[in-house]
């Protein structure tokens, strides 16, 4: 069975022709009912991938791909009207700052009702009833009262629940969640994650979950894709990624997520930052920050050529000369 | 439905009933007035009073505003003529009321036309961008560079003074600030997150303009319109004062000022009353504008 969402060799760039792309040859597939998480630090291209699927890239972005298909529909070639029928109805999205995602001039009830009236064609009255149902469905107490509230009267957690209610109103087949819990505090985060997990099971929808936090992702995702500097560096099941990470970047991320400490007691951080990778045109992009280069004595190959995404027998793929080398000698 | 069994987490999340709702969603009707800033309340009260007086003018004006009584010229205030009479013996109070109908209605019509025309152009600029945007914005530069009064006088001189010409002249010169404001607001609101969220929900461009852009731009636009009203009132008055506006035997506050000027040393009321009328009306609407601004800033 083909994947529900297929992204094939997606490249996105800004500015002048020949400028280093923000997304470089990204290929991903999300199977029906699966939760795929994309993990990486800021600037790695996670959100760009999500926005490409929605075709909502900022002005001036240039998109090239072998194809983006959702349920067989070619998104890359689709016009605005086709896209608007897919957005919100079949593919929904959650965002990072839920309070800013609500229009300050309209009540919560009215905003949640909008997609209902638009897609399900409900009357004003019926939509209002359905809104109350939806709100109580996402665990909002006193939904009648909340429906009359404005965005600035809500807490971040409630606002994200409202956004979830809105996103799920059309019973979408795919939910794209772009760091939906980043702006929330930890207790609320857990609740929102559970809510997403519950709803996913209820509706049988696929989820593309974007996060910089492996800890958050590990409880929810079936598979994890790790991105670095616009490239996918490793893909595997959650188990594979967490138990046997192949790429040194993934290993560093896991180390960060466990709050590992250095010998002198300071918190472990990955040295350098992702911006250094932009200028690298050949060779591995992670090399300047890579802890493995020295010990593996692979300087020459890492410098000369970017490693391909290569897989082990169990389906896990990664992009590192050191692991390719180890596998070959094993 | 509690997602986490621990009741404390409900409280933390705000799903528990014990947490009172912030803000004032429950405020309704007259209670709502209390949340208004003082300037807004005073402005609205003042303006409503003036509006009611002007609407009721045909019934409450004591005399025909054009009826002359040459025996009784330049009389001071008396029980028969509360504000006295002018140089042709016409009752000043009646003329003030009838004149106000012209002044205020011309200013209001002009303002509505200016704001609608300007806002639409500004929104189009923000939406279309490119050469169209550039052209319209340079046009506003040109319009702003010429003094409004000069253009208005020029037009009235060509087309001849009439109600229509007066309004046309004021609209032609008055739409520019609205276009600039609406364009700026549209660009700013467009970049806000909820527009992106609406796009991700598959809402059409037109829907976003009417449902998100306009409501969010409305209160700054209204505030600006109210602040411009005083300006328009004075512009109408000034054109009439110069004889380019309302023509005799009709009169408005501006032409009353002009008529009264030669006699103001004998009867100061002839210029003081129309001047005050312009001043108070402009003040009332300006207060409303400031009130809207204050309210908006408070809500953040």
Structure tokens at B203: 């809402």
Instruction: State the pLDDT at residue A210.
Output: 92
Confidence of residue A208 (pLDDT cuts 50, 70, 90): very high
Q: Any residues with CB less than 8 A from the CB of A90 and at least 6 apart, and which?
A: A70, A71, A170, A172, A173, A174
Strand bridging mode A174-178 / A91-94: parallel
Which whole number is the average pLDDT over A273-286?
73
Task: Please indicate whether, in this complex, the C-beta atoms of A158 and B14 are within 8 angstroms of each other.
Answer: yes
Assign A297 to helix, strand or coil: coil
Q: Which residue of B lies nearest to A167 if distances are taken between CA atoms?
A: B201
**Torsion angles phi and psi, residue A91, rounded to 5:** -125, 120
Q: Which residue of A lies nearest to B212 if distances are taken between CA atoms?
A: A103
Which whole number is the average pLDDT over B249-278?
82
Task: Please indicate whether, in this complex, the C-beta atoms of B200 and A92 are within 8 angstroms of each other.
Answer: yes
Confidence of residue B18 (pLDDT cuts 50, 70, 90): very low
Cα four-point dihedral sign A51, A55, A56, A57:
positive
Confidence of residue A296 (pLDDT cuts 50, 70, 90): low
Cα A317 versus chain centre, distance = 18
pLDDT at B123 over 80: yes
pLDDT at A99 over 90: no
- A280 at interface of B, judged by CB pairs closer than 8 A: no
pLDDT at B124 over 70: yes
Instruction: State the pLDDT at residue B19.
Output: 41
pLDDT at B113 over 90: yes
Q: Any residues with CB less than 8 A from the CB of A272 and at least 6 apart, and which?
A: A288, A289
Tens digits of residue pLDDT in A249-263: 888 888 888 877 777
Q: Which residue of A lies nearest to B192 if distances are taken between CA atoms?
A: A100
Cα distance between residue B246 and residue B105, in whole Å: 12
B70 or A308, greater pLDDT? A308
For residue A255, the number of C-alpha atoms closer than 13 Å in the C-beta half-sphere is 15
The mean of the pLDDT values for chain B is 79
Sheet of A91-94, strands arranged across: A91-94, A174-178, A206-211, A35-39, A223-228, A231-237, A317-318, A310-311
Instruction: State the pLDDT at residue B3.
Output: 44
Instruction: State the pLDDT at residue A231.
Output: 86
- A78 at interface of B, judged by CB pairs closer than 8 A: no
Task: Please indicate whether, in this complex, the C-beta atoms of A195 and B203 are within 8 angstroms of each other.
Answer: no
Task: Please indicate whether, in this complex, the C-beta atoms of A103 and B203 are within 8 angstroms of each other.
Answer: no
Which whole number is the average pLDDT over B147-175?
81
Structure tokens at B72: 């009784």
Task: Please indicate whether, in this complex, the C-beta atoms of B25 and A140 are within 8 angstroms of each other.
Answer: no
Of A56, A136, A195, the CB nearest to B196: A56
Please state which of the ranges A219-233, B101-115, B130-144, B153-167 shows the lowest mean pLDDT.
B153-167
Q: Do the beta carbons of residue B278 and residue B237 sit within 8 Å?
A: yes
The mean of the pLDDT values for chain A is 84
A133 or A18, greater pLDDT? A133
Q: Any residues with CB less than 8 A from the CB of B48 and at least 6 apart, and which?
A: none
pLDDT at B9 over 50: no
Q: Any residues with CB less than 8 A from the CB of B9 and at least 6 apart, and which?
A: A187, A190, A191, B2
Instruction: State the pLDDT at residue B253.
Output: 84
Instruction: State the pLDDT at residue A37.
Output: 92
Task: Please indicate whether, in this complex, the C-beta atoms of B201 and A115 are within 8 angstroms of each other.
Answer: yes
Indicate the length of chain B as a whole number: 300
Which whole number is the average pLDDT over B122-148?
85
Which DSSP helix (H) or strand (E) runs through A136?
Answer: helix A124-137
Residues β-bridged to residue A92: A175
Of A119, A142, A152, the CB nearest to B17: A142
pTM: 0.75
Task: Please indicate whether, in this complex, the C-beta atoms of B1 and A101 are within 8 angstroms of each other.
Answer: no
Cα distance between residue A87 and residue B203, in whole Å: 8
Distance from CA of A214 to the nearest CA of B (A): 22
Choose among A170, A116, A118: nearest CA to A147.
A116
Task: Please indicate whether, in this complex, the C-beta atoms of B14 and A157 are within 8 angstroms of each other.
Answer: yes
Which whole number is the average pLDDT over A24-53?
87
Task: Please indicate whether, in this complex, the C-beta atoms of B1 and A139 are within 8 angstroms of each other.
Answer: yes
Distance from CA of B296 to the nearest CA of A (A): 11
Please state which of the ranges A11-15, B64-68, B173-177, B197-201 shows the lowest mean pLDDT.
B64-68
pLDDT at B23 over 50: no
Cα distance between residue A304 and residue A229, in whole Å: 18
Tens digits of residue pLDDT in A59-91: 788 888 888 888 888 888 888 888 888 887 888
pLDDT at B247 over 50: yes
Q: Which residue of B lies nearest to A135 if distances are taken between CA atoms?
A: B1
Cα distance between residue B135 and residue B140, in whole Å: 9
Which whole number is the average pLDDT over A133-141?
86
B3 or B34, greater pLDDT? B34
> Which residues on chain A are in Cβ contact (under 8 Å) with B9?
187, 190-191
Interface of A with B in 130-169 (CB under 8 A): 136-137, 139-142, 145-146, 148-150, 152-155, 157-158, 163, 166-167
Instruction: State the pLDDT at residue A94.
Output: 87
- A88 at interface of B, judged by CB pairs closer than 8 A: yes
Cα distance between residue B189 and residue B187, in whole Å: 6
Which whole number is the average pLDDT over B231-241?
82
> Which residues on chain B are in Cβ contact (under 8 Å) with A187?
4, 9, 12-13
Please state which of the ranges A63-72, A104-113, A213-222, B151-160 shows the lowest mean pLDDT.
B151-160
**Torsion angles phi and psi, residue A9, rounded to 5:** 55, 55
Task: Please indicate whether, in this complex, the C-beta atoms of A136 and B215 are within 8 angstroms of each other.
Answer: no
Dihedral over alpha carbons A226, A232, A237, A239 (to 10 degrees): -40
A267: region left, alpha or beta (phi > 0 left; psi from -120 to 50 alpha): beta
Of B3, B193, B300, the CB nearest to A101: B193
**Torsion angles phi and psi, residue B115, rounded to 5:** -70, -40
Token pair 């983006």: residue: A68
Structure tokens at A15: 């500015």
ipTM for this model: 0.76
pLDDT at B198 over 70: yes
Task: Please indicate whether, in this complex, the C-beta atoms of B200 and A89 are within 8 angstroms of each other.
Answer: no
pLDDT at B13 over 60: no
Choose among A176, A184, A194, A233: nearest CA to A26.
A233
Token pair 């087949």: residue: A173
Task: Please indicate whether, in this complex, the C-beta atoms of A87 and B15 are within 8 angstroms of each other.
Answer: no
Q: What percent of chain B has pLDDT over 70?
A: 88
Residues β-bridged to residue A235: A225, A317
> Which residues on chain A are in Cβ contact (under 8 Å) with B198?
103
Distance from CA of A143 to the nearest CA of B (A): 10
Confidence of residue B25 (pLDDT cuts 50, 70, 90): very low
Q: Do the beta carbons of residue B63 and residue B85 sit within 8 Å?
A: no
Of B9, B15, B204, the CB nearest to A140: B15
Bond into B249 cis (ω within 30) = yes
Q: Any residues with CB less than 8 A from the CB of B238 and at least 6 apart, and which?
A: B149, B254
Of B15, B202, B204, the CB nearest to A89: B202
């Amino acid at each position: 069975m083909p994947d529900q969402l297929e992204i094939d060799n997606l490249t996105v760039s800004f500015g002048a022709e020949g400028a280093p792309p923000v997304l470089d040859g990204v290929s991903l597939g999300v199977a029906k009912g699966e939760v795929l998480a994309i993990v990486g630090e800021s600037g790695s291209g996670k959100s760009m991938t999500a926005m490409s699927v929605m075709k909502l890239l900022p002005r001036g972005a240039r998109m090239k791909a072998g194809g983006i298909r959702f349920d067989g529909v070619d998104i890359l070639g689709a016009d605005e009207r086709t896209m608007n029928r897919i957005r919100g109805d079949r593919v929904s999205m959650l965002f990072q700052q839920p309070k800013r995602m609500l229009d300050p001039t309209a009540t919560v009830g009215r905003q949640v009702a909008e997609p209902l009236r638009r897609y399900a064609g409900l009357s004003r009255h019926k939509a209002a009833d359905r809104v109350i149902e939806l709100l109580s469905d996402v665990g909002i107490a006193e939904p009648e009262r909340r429906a009359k509230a404005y965005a600035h009267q809500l807490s971040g957690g409630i606002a994200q629940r409202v956004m979830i209610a809105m996103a799920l109103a059309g019973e979408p087949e795919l939910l794209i969640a772009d760091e939906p819990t980043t702006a929330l505090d930890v207790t609320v985060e857990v609740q929102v994650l559970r809510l997403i997990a519950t709803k996913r099971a209820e509706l049988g929808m696929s989820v593309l979950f974007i996060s910089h936090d492996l800890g958050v992702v590990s409880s929810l995702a079936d598979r994890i894709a790790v991105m670095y500097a616009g490239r996918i560096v490793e893909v595997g099941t959650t188990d594979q990624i967490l138990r046997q990470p192949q790429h040194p970047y993934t290993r560093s991320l896991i180390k960060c997520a466990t709050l590992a400490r250095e010998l002198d007691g300071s918190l472990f951080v990955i040295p350098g930052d992702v911006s250094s990778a932009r200028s690298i045109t050949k060779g591995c992009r992670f090399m300047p920050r890579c802890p493995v280069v020295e010990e593996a004595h692979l300087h020459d190959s890492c410098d000369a050529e970017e490693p391909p995404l290569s897989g082990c027998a169990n389906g896990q793929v990664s992009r590192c000369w050191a692991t390719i080398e180890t596998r070959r000698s094993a | 439905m509690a997602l986490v069994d621990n009741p404390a987490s409900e409280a933390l999340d705000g799903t528990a009933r014990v947490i009172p709702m912030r803000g004032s969603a429950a405020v309704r009707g007259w209670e709502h007035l209390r949340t208004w800033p003082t300037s807004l309340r005073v402005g609205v009260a003042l303006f409503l009073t003036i509006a009611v007086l002007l609407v009721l003018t045909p019934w409450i004006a004591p005399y025909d505003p054009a009826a002359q009584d040459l025996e009784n010229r330049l009389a001071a205030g008396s029980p028969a003529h509360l504000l006295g009479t002018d140089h042709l013996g016409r009752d000043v109070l009646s003329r003030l009321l009838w004149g106000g109908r012209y002044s205020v209605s011309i200013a209001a019509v002009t303002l509505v036309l200016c704001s609608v025309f300007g806002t639409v152009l500004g929104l189009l600029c923000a939406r279309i961008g490119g050469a169209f945007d550039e052209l319209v914005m340079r046009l506003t530069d040109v319009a702003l560079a010429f003094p409004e009064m000069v253009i208005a006088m020029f037009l009235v001189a060509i087309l001849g003074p009439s109600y229509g010409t007066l309004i046309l002249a004021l609209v032609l010169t008055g739409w520019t600030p609205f276009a600039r404001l609406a364009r700026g607001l549209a660009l700013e609101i467009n970049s806000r997150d909820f527009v992106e969220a609406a796009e991700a929900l598959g809402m059409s461009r037109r829907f976003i303009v009417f449902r998100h852009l306009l409501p969010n731009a409305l209160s700054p636009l209204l505030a600006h319109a109210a602040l411009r009203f005083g300006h328009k009132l004075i512009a109408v008055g000034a054109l009439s004062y110069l004889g380019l506006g309302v023509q005799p035997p009709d009169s408005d506050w501006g032409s009353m000022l002009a008529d009264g000027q030669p006699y103001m040393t004998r009867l100061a009321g002839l210029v003081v009353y129309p001047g005050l009328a312009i001043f108070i009306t402009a003040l009332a609407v300006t207060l409303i504008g400031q009130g809207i601004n204050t309210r908006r800033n408070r809500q953040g």
